[in-house]
Structure 1
Amino acid sequence: MKPVLLEANQPERFYRGGAAIAELRGAVNAAEWGPEDWVASTTTLFGQHTAGLAALPGGELLRSAIEAAPEAWLGAEHVAEFGANPALLVKLLDAGQRLPVHCHPSDSFAASHLDCRFGKTEAWVVVGTTGADPVVYVGFREGVDEATVAAWVASQDTSTMLHALNEVPVKAGDTVFVPAGLPHAIGAGVFIVELQQPTDFSVLLEWTGFAEEGDSSVHLGLGFEAALGCVDRSGWAAKRLDGLVRHTADQRGPSVDLLGEQSLEFFRADRVHTESPVEFDPGFAVLVALEGSGGLSTQTGGSLELVRGNTVVLPHAAGSCRVDGDLVLVRCRPPIVGGSTS
């Protein structure tokens, strides 16, 4: 088992973007509707059979390879907890336009309404911005009652919905943890590495201009009366909101924890700086090279030369590994088994 260098995997989406992904990867052209690169994905788009799945060199789907040898890819402890599912989806997301106001269901909502163990808590690692005022929108500033949210959605009162959310300026190095249920939107010009639970469950509170009228996928086929039950309508004033946002741009060192303890039961993310060699313990991981060049070598003998824009999937059975050179990487990992460090 060796680390694998992955090609871009950009399924067509409902909003524009992709120029920042093309620039990072050194691609010549950016697809107008390619704003997301689903890195090492074993997850499909909602309602699709294969769209979104990542392929290994040679064409085999990563999902099929993991299902054939789950412990080699993921490790025995992970498989005992999550089966042959990495329990992680990583994306590069380049918002060429503001995304719609939307939210994602929790684990409990997904289990009861969608017959799925996973909801969709996510986190954003901001790696670049363009424009004069890059922002994201996160959580209602004040609590909102059920009838009000339903009325906003029914009338598609976009300006009121957007105004009700916290507008948060962002820059490269910032991270935002987005619990399931929290209404949110990503502003135009924000480029992120996104970690999330392995589903494509989204409830679009704002769908005008993003989906066809009558498209049932905007409410996950549940109808809005049921789907809006997953919305966190509580207020997120400044002090509470501060717990979701981190500013890490000036933090260096071999490995910078980007998300903290609140993310451990969902996923983990570190920014790795290789001014001196950095070693990792065995474990499934997805690596995104943001800057520089260097090398990755593993206990089993697998090695790769890495440059800015490379994305890599690292199997558990590759053993411990070492990264050196002059690289800046984001290392994305599945949740801690058991949901905590204890």
Structure 2
Amino acid sequence: MTEIFNQPWKLIPNKIRGAGGREIDKLRGVNPPVDTLDGSEAWIGSVTRAAEAPAEDPHHGCSEVVLPDGRRMFLFEAIAINPEATLGKKHFSRHGTNLGMLIKYLDAQEQYMLQAHPTREFAKKMWNSDFGKEESWYMIGGREDTKEPPYILLGFKKGITRAKWEELYNKEDLNGLEQLCHKIPVKAGETYFVGGGTPHALGEGCFCIEVQEPSDITVMPIHQQELKRIFTAKLPDGADISSSLIAPFLVDSKAVYDEKTLGAFVYEGYSYEENLRRRRILPKIIREGPWGKEYFLIGPEQTDYFSFTQADVQGKVGVRITGFPQVGIVLAGEGAILFDGGKMSVKKGDEVFLPYNIPGAAIDGNLSLVFCHPEGVSEK
């Protein structure tokens, strides 16, 4: 039994919600690639349940995995077999069986709704959640058949106040609210940090990896009844609003709903240049050699809650050991993840879970991988 914890596990691809998914299919090698009403998000290595998980699918949002012995189960079930052997004593003592992070593909066929996520402190106060939803985006592609080049809305403009925001919120002026945020053109290879309380929205055509805290708390500056109407219209025929993303809000009084919605934003504004300096994160090389290089995309300089790196490999190199479990995504190429006694072949589009201790772990081939880590893992 113990040998299954000393080698990587292959994750089973999924899609969760939202209009899109064509670019995810392209990366995964699905032919023909298509957009669907529930294909915009894929949750990778997830033990987090989606906020709108229906009664018939209570683990909606959780990833499935194929173990080395051939068993297929949810990742949280596999971890529960032996949490310390999977996650390590340090991680288990801090987070229990929670991975402490959530990784997604986001493929925006249309612009996402303007939104924010709470800081840990506000999430604990208003939702009794141990996690907020600090997050980050790594742009890995984009659509060419959009009205304009891919863009994001990110961060408040200089001069923002809660009173100004609340005035437009009360007028239900979504366009006016968006005008108070910076609109930034984006391209593949760029990384953006989205702190708790920061207004943001992926624009039409964006395709990215999102790494975040493991919660699904989202607020949108739209009145409760209007938000209910919008989401009801988006639901498939026969679906109930209780299965939607806003279901957790529908139990709140207007006063509580408004405080959650308005209080979750952090009202700090900057000029376009200063906002970009704070939000766009430049890669930082950790190690390099004849085999290639590995660099932080988001690291401990940005947050203590998670980090992720990219390794561009032409040859063979050991996997960077952090003492924590990792989730890997193969962005390009093909090769293998080696371990004592064997190897796992991988190619573009594959998603893998790596228990914290894999003796002899190495990468071999010509490929580019993103490795996601809980906590802001320091350079090692």
Q: Same fold (TM over 0.5)?
A: yes
Any idea what SS the aligned residue of 1:20 has? helix
Any idea what SS the aligned residue of 1:316 has? coil
Any idea what SS the aligned residue of 2:268 has? coil
Partner of 1:4: 9
Alpha-carbon distance between aligned partners in 2 of 1:140 and 1:156, rounded to the nearest angstrom: 18
Partner of 2:364: 324
Partner of 2:262: 228
Going from structure 1 to structure 2, the CA distance change for 1:218 and 1:327 (only over 3 Å counts) comes to farther
Going from structure 1 to structure 2, the CA distance change for 1:312 and 1:200 (only over 3 Å counts) comes to same
**Counterpart code for 2:51:** F
The residue correspondences of 1:28-107 to structure 2 (distance < 5 A) are 28=31, 29-30=33-34, 31-48=36-53, 49-57=58-66, 58-107=71-120
Alpha-carbon distance between aligned partners in 2 of 1:4 and 1:228, rounded to the nearest angstrom: 42
Larger Rg: 2
Is residue 2:203 matched to residue 1:187?
A: yes
The residue correspondences of 1:190-201 to structure 2 (distance < 5 A) are 190-201=206-217
| Contact 1:173/1:248 (8 A) holds in 2 | no
1:136 aligned to which of 144, 152, 158: 152
**Counterpart code for 1:284:** P
CA deviation vs aligned residue, 1:202-226 (integer Å, no higher than 9, x gap): 0012575852399554689441223
| Contact 2:315/2:364 (8 A) holds in 1 | yes
2:274 aligned to which of 239, 244, 255: 239
Alpha-carbon distance between aligned partners in 1 of 2:334 and 2:230, rounded to the nearest angstrom: 38
CA deviation vs aligned residue, 1:214-246 (integer Å, no higher than 9, x gap): 955468944122332110111032224312203
**Counterpart code for 2:265:** V
Going from structure 1 to structure 2, the CA distance change for 1:5 and 1:341 (only over 3 Å counts) comes to closer
Partner of 1:156: 172
| Contact 2:221/2:261 (8 A) holds in 1 | no
CA deviation vs aligned residue, 1:3-55 (integer Å, no higher than 9, x gap): 111121212x2x31100000111113433321111001000111533110111
Cα displacement (A) at 1:152: 2.5
Going from structure 1 to structure 2, the CA distance change for 1:101 and 1:152 (only over 3 Å counts) comes to same
Alpha-carbon distance between aligned partners in 1 of 2:198 and 2:214, rounded to the nearest angstrom: 17
1:273 aligned to which of 306, 309, 312: 312
| Contact 2:150/2:206 (8 A) holds in 1 | yes
Q: TM-score, normalised by structure 2?
A: 0.82
Cα displacement (A) at 1:89: 0.4
| Contact 1:216/1:223 (8 A) holds in 2 | no
**Counterpart code for 1:84:** T
Partner of 2:347: 307
Cα displacement (A) at 1:155: 3.3
Partner of 1:293: 334
CA deviation vs aligned residue, 1:128-161 (integer Å, no higher than 9, x gap): 0123421111111124222332333333312111
Any idea what SS the aligned residue of 1:98 has? coil
Partner of 1:18: 21
1:260 aligned to which of 296, 299, 315: 299
**Counterpart code for 1:291:** A
| Contact 1:204/1:218 (8 A) holds in 2 | no
Alpha-carbon distance between aligned partners in 2 of 1:256 and 1:185, rounded to the nearest angstrom: 26
Alpha-carbon distance between aligned partners in 1 of 2:251 and 2:361, rounded to the nearest angstrom: 41
Sequence identity percentage: 29
Going from structure 1 to structure 2, the CA distance change for 1:220 and 1:314 (only over 3 Å counts) comes to farther
Alpha-carbon distance between aligned partners in 2 of 1:87 and 1:136, rounded to the nearest angstrom: 26
Alpha-carbon distance between aligned partners in 1 of 2:182 and 2:132, rounded to the nearest angstrom: 23
| Contact 1:211/1:218 (8 A) holds in 2 | no
**Counterpart code for 1:286:** V
Alpha-carbon distance between aligned partners in 1 of 2:267 and 2:250, rounded to the nearest angstrom: 17
Alpha-carbon distance between aligned partners in 2 of 1:320 and 1:289, rounded to the nearest angstrom: 19
Partner of 2:236: none
Q: TM-score, normalised by structure 1?
A: 0.90
Alpha-carbon distance between aligned partners in 2 of 1:129 and 1:290, rounded to the nearest angstrom: 14
Any idea what SS the aligned residue of 2:231 has? coil
Going from structure 1 to structure 2, the CA distance change for 1:290 and 1:259 (only over 3 Å counts) comes to same
Unaligned runs of 5+ in 2: 234-240
Any idea what SS the aligned residue of 2:314 has? coil
